[in-house]
Amino acid sequence: MSVTADKSVKPGWVGAALPRKEDRPLLTGRGRFIDDLEPVAGMRHAAILRSPHPHARIRGIDTRRAEALPGVLGVVTGAQIAQVAGVIPSVVRSKMRFQVCATTKARYAGEPVAVVVAENRYIAEDALELIEVDYEPLPGVGHLEDAIAPGAPLLYKEAGSNIAQERNFKYGDPDEAFARAQKDGRVFKYDYRFPRSIATPMETYGVIAQYEPDPDRYTVWSNFQGPFVLQPLMAGALNVPGNRLRLITPPNSGGSFGIKQAVYSYMVLMAAVSRLTGVAVKWTEDRLEHLMASSSATDRLGSVEAAFASDGELLALRYRNVVNLGAHIRAPEPASVYRMHAASNGAYRVKNLAIDNVLVVTNRQPAGLNRGYGGPQFYFALERIMEIAARGLGIDAAAIRSRNLVRKEEFPYTCPAGAIYDAADYEACLAEALRLADYPALLARREQARAAGKLFGIGFALGVEPSGSNMAYVGLAQTAEQRGKTEQKSGANASATITIDPSGGVSVQLDSTPNGQGHATVTAQIVAQELGLSPEDVDVMTEADTRQIAWSIASGNYSNRFASAVTSAVLACARRVAEKLKTMAAEDFKVSPADIELAGGAARVKANPELAIGVARLAARAHWNPAGMPGQVSAGMHETVVLDAPMLTSPDEQDRIASAMTHGFVADLAAIEIDKATGRLEIVKYVSVHDVGTMLNPLIVEGQIHGGFAHGLGAALYEELVTIGPATSFPAPSRSTCARPRRRCRSWTSATSPRRPTST
């Protein structure tokens, strides 16, 4: 793979392919992850008892034997948790309430039922085996078809249905466009099932929670990636003001791909456990727990219809998305349903859209953010219908896409559902993909392979990727009338703080909570270029602390937010610091600040570079001699910038919204040959062309593209969280008391019983 640099970028550190600053401590084993931290003296360890049943009534819990085990400090049940931690709300108006620990009913295999706190993890794990839970197993639903069938077992009887919500949208006049296509063109329909998959980062969840009764305050350390819009929800569940819930992230996080946003429910759980037991507690999830009960992408039953004119012009699209949210509507869901909504036309000029969303609960682990959340499900449907239409109309698959792409001269392009595509050249990207693949030669090879009785296919996927999410887009789950009854939401704030200490040391604080993307490296490049320093001179702090950093509800790491939003804040902040340095130097040399440049670690006169003063010396003056600062320049060398994108407003009355700051573009081509006899698959050719705008660090861009390919391949060929059994309602097992659930009971989300070794 080759990466082409953006020639519009001025020479300097930005755009250079620098190795990552983060790699040395990671490669030498000196990284500090959540399980490495012991921030509180006297900290104890927690283990979670989980339901072995996907659906069961909890008739009683006997914790006496566990509490009597030497080394156990306490056992906390869901009923006790409910006394200090309330429900966590969702944007969906529903009677389906999400609690962090089951009380009277378990709704998925792996749902927390009780928590043991002990002197060490070994004792806590052993104590789990001594808890006796009287379960009354209930019929459940593991498949979407079962959940929406008449007479289906209900997860929430008070809701009266397993359908949490239905919403219907129309943009343009899709009915007229489909009628026109029925008469003078063609209409194509595709029904599909999209499976449930899961990201499995190297590091699982981890939480350390401390409750302090005076004042009524919680401090929680976790590898939480955000979005920090969940912090107010957590504070509300714990019934404390936001400034009494302090969240801290560790220096390093071992990957996420979206899944670590869901750790927040365990943050609330462990905070409540700390309050009830009176000690600071630490919980580290094991791999079996992660697979069983962390979070996963939504699976869907869907259909997509496309109306085409006879010449291949795409006139309208109609989507129906039946989405499995799992056992609970866990915020920020249904984010994965609505993230791509405003861009439901994809890369195409189609003006008429109809979208029906049906949100369903089942006895599966709750769904959440996962690897471009919502994007794979959406593009699978859209690009598949384009392929079907190409065959039906007798048009080449690449040609029908090119015929309908948004043209270069049409940017900025406003989509029918409200997304604003800023700039790109989709046609050039597709043309480059065809060139790199030698498309005519691939077509010839396909015909030869098929003539020889082999299976050979060429597939395309053209995708528009939102970056820097508008925090209001999930509000589309509510009607305009419902939104009008609440405070409006909008925006995608990003913040950065730059400090130069009296010795000249430069520090930057971000609000982006990275988990492996290279934020520190790119930030150092930007700041170094603006201040005339080397990236090695810039120390970047990526760990978050809500008591100390400038954060907003938009803070966190999701939806490509860093490159679009956070770097903009970093650049603006660096330029503010640079202007202060230039103004101070200009007074010394009796010139205008415009005559000063920052280079080589100094502020110097452009026309006479020998007239220079070191950045460190200027910073020391700002600290030691604040009364001597020129004009209106403030004392010290500490600047914070908070930026927002003005176009990211609330949804309008027609449910249109600009849902992201920027939109990248990718054109992928895959040529695949499959052996009929063995099923062996050969990737004959794979081409990926990205229009990413300015590359801040080509080395990191290339690494992320390779990583994205690996994730896509894994999801397509190897990954699926399956439900055991056919697509019919599972009968209730016989009533039983399950004292040792980890050893005796099976989860629907695993083909084998989860088993954890105990200490010896």
663 burial (CB, 10 Å; 0-12 / 13-18 / 19+) is buried
The pLDDT, as a whole number, for residue 143 is: 94
Same domain, residue pair 603 and 688: no
Same domain, residue pair 333 and 206: no
Give the CA dihedral 574, 575, 581, 585, nearest 10 degrees. Answer: 150
The per-residue pLDDT for range 272-301, each reduced to its tens digit, is 999 999 999 999 999 999 999 999 999 999
Same domain, residue pair 656 and 740: no
Establish if 477 belongs to a structural domain: no
Same domain, residue pair 46 and 57: yes
Same domain, residue pair 552 and 423: no
Same domain, residue pair 401 and 498: no
The pLDDT, as a whole number, for residue 722 is: 82
3-state secondary structure of 756: coil
From 643, 661, 681, give the residue that closes a domain: 643
Closest by CA position to 655, among listed 333, 373, 415, 410:
415
Establish if 581 belongs to a structural domain: yes
366 within 8 A of 331, measured Cβ to Cβ: no
* Sign of CA pseudo-dihedral 146, 152, 153, 158: positive
The pLDDT, as a whole number, for residue 754 is: 31
431 burial (CB, 10 Å; 0-12 / 13-18 / 19+) is middle
367 within 8 A of 326, measured Cβ to Cβ: yes
What tokens does 652 get?
């309008």
Those residues with Cβ within 8 angstroms of residue 744's Cβ, 6 or more apart along the chain or in another chain: 52, 738, 753
Same domain, residue pair 396 and 427: yes
Establish if 393 belongs to a structural domain: yes
Establish if 674 belongs to a structural domain: yes
What's the domain count of the chain? Answer: 3
Please report the DSSP string for 98-120 in residue order. B-SS-SSEE-STT-EEEEEEESS
> What's the pTM?
0.92
Same domain, residue pair 229 and 119: yes
Same domain, residue pair 454 and 526: no
To the nearest 10 degrees (0 to 180), the angle between helices 397-404 and 375-393 is 110
The pLDDT, as a whole number, for residue 721 is: 83
The enclosing domain of 242 has a CATH number of 3.90.1170.50
Closest by CA position to 100, among listed 237, 225, 274:
237
What tokens does 483 get?
């939104």
From 643, 660, 684, give the residue that closes a domain: 643
Report the C-alpha gap between 745 and 725 in whole angstroms. Answer: 15
155 within 8 A of 361, measured Cβ to Cβ: yes
Those residues with Cβ within 8 angstroms of residue 377's Cβ, 6 or more apart along the chain or in another chain: 194, 297, 298, 300, 302, 321, 336
Same domain, residue pair 400 and 508: no
100 within 8 A of 237, measured Cβ to Cβ: yes
Establish if 428 belongs to a structural domain: yes
DSSP code, position 311: T
Domain carrying residue 500: 493-643
pLDDT < 70 regions, the chain: 1-11, 724-760
Establish if 479 belongs to a structural domain: no
Closest by CA position to 88, among listed 490, 488, 368:
368
Report the C-alpha gap between 573 and 558 in whole angstroms. Answer: 22
718 burial (CB, 10 Å; 0-12 / 13-18 / 19+) is exposed
Establish if 751 belongs to a structural domain: no
From 643, 675, 693, give the residue that closes a domain: 643
The phi, psi pair for 244, rounded to 5°, reads -105, 5
Establish if 485 belongs to a structural domain: no
SS3 letters across 441-468: HHHHHHHHHHHCCCEEEEEEEEEEEEEE
Same domain, residue pair 325 and 444: yes
The enclosing domain of 398 has a CATH number of 3.30.365.10
Same domain, residue pair 302 and 287: no
Find tokens 């010290």 and name the residue.
Answer: 636
The per-residue pLDDT for range 531-562, each reduced to its tens digit, is 999 999 999 999 999 999 999 999 999 988 99
What tokens does 555 get?
């803070």
Find tokens 């895959």 and name the residue.
Answer: 670
